[in-house]
A and B are shown apart, each in its own frame.
Chain A
Amino acid sequence: MTGEELEFQEDELSLLETLDHVLDRGLVIAGEITIAVADIDLIFVGLNVLLTSVETAREVLHERKKKILSDE
């Protein structure tokens, strides 16, 4: 296994990281956050993409490990 970064599509990563920062942190004025989650699919798909990517990465790592072990 290597320490390289996860291979997300650049725009997926950019959106997920941006959401992670802007939705959860930052200055808050009491009662002045007024968001509508009309596009629920975006958040759902976003998180799903992240989870899928983690799962995919894990599978790749397993396959790689198995190959290394069988080569030895």
Chain B
Amino acid sequence: MRLYAYCLSDELRGGMLEDVAGVSDRTPRLLEFGLVAVAVSDFEGERVTVERENVFAHERVVQRVLRHVTPLPFRFGTLSTREKLSEYVEANRARLIESLERVRGSVEMSVKIIWDTAASEKEMEDAGGKGEDEAEATGKGAAYLAARRRALLGDELRKERAVELGEWLGNLVGDAAVDSNVEVRALESMVVRAAFLVRREWLDDYQERINEARVQRSDLRFLTSGPWPPYSFSYINP
């Protein structure tokens, strides 16, 4: 019998998992390894299927713990054994405790920014000097090179704007978050994917800043969600 691992913490207590169904409808329980406990449930089989029911079951258990304390969640599909989990905790104890300290009392808040790519493409095209190049370009080869130059200039400008956008959001949230993870994807509609680690008592302040972001940049679309367990901040430094 293998064990499905949900999350771990040095503040986990058995009562936190009462009346919650885990993956495959199994009841989660705690395995204690010194100060650190891991929430697990029995699992029959070799692989966990990525399907709605299982994904929500994983998240349901971790969210239940999050009501009480902030754990470090495992990635979906972590199947292990008692021995392996013990080895993992033992080998990484100091780093796990350090990570738990970092997330303690905080939750993850997610912000995704989607920009209007049609409008930005027009802007990039204009900035790339369309017209001037075409007027000078004669022949297919020259026209191709001019178009290529425009595309490159447009891409460069798009990257600059995307980075500025990521920095703008990071600065706006500022000290309302204790940590952040901001990814910029200049060539995609979803241009910024940000996660902020926010202390529970600062959530109102954080929300006000996100509202301010919407007001400042009404040309953008914001997709916000949370509180989440700190998935983006659950890593252990090598």
Contact = CB atoms under 8 A, between A and B. Distances in A.
Interface of A: 1-6, 13, 15, 17-29, 32-39, 42-43, 54, 57-58, 61-62
B234 A26 contact: yes
A42 B221 contact: no
Given A3-B222, A5-B221, A29 B55 contact: no
A39 to B, nearest CB: 4
Contacts of A22: 55, 58-59, 73, 75-76, 231
Contacts of A36: 47-50
B4 to A, nearest CB: 10
B84 A32 contact: yes
Contacts of A57: 114, 221
Q: Chain B: interface secondary structure?
A: mixed
A19 B48 contact: no
Nearest to A41: B51
Contacts, number: 131
Interface residues of B, number: 52
Interface string B106-129: 001010001011100000000000
Interface of B: 5, 7-8, 46-52, 55-56, 58-59, 72-80, 84-85, 88, 108, 110, 114, 116-118, 189-190, 214-215, 217-225, 228-229, 231-232, 234-236
B231 A34 contact: no
Contacts of A15: 52, 55-56
Most-contacted residue by chain B among A19, A33, A37, A57 (CB, 10 A):
A33
A36 B116 CA distance: 35
A-B interface, 6 closest residue pairs, ranked by CB to CB distance from nearest: A3-B214, A35-B77, A26-B75, A25-B231, A22-B76, A36-B47
A5 to B, nearest CB: 6
B59 A18 contact: yes
Contact of B80 (A2, A29, A39, A62): A29
B49 A29 contact: no
